[in-house]
Amino acid sequence: STLGELFQDEPAVVSSPWSQVTVQALLEHQSGAPANTQWHQLEAKYPNDLFAARRAMLLELVQRKRSPTPGFEYSNLGYATLWKS
């Protein structure tokens, strides 16, 4: 599955270059996702709403430029992106 398929209800995901990233690429750290995000800011903004925090994280990710040829980069953000699937 791709992010575009998993998050088809999120127009920002579907219309981004990240829409074609597969679950396998995320799990194998081959998606081009950065290692981390501003976890403490998400926690502060959404202290009791993990769903909202993860949605905000996903929307932040798809705003980032994605390399056309990503290589291996260990990414906690890649794993956390799969919150809904």
| pLDDT tens track, the chain, 85 positions | 999 999 999 999 999 999 999 999 999 999 999 998 888 898 899 999 988 998 999 999 999 999 888 999 999 888 888 865 4
Question: pTM for this one?
Answer: 0.84
Q: Which long-range contacts (CB under 8 A, 24 or more apart) does 81-84 make?
A: 81/3, 81/26, 81/33, 81/54, 81/57, 82/6, 82/23, 82/26, 82/27, 83/50, 83/51, 83/54, 83/58, 84/6, 84/7, 84/54
Query: Are residues 28 and 73 in contact, defined by beta-carbon separation less than 8 angstroms?
Result: no
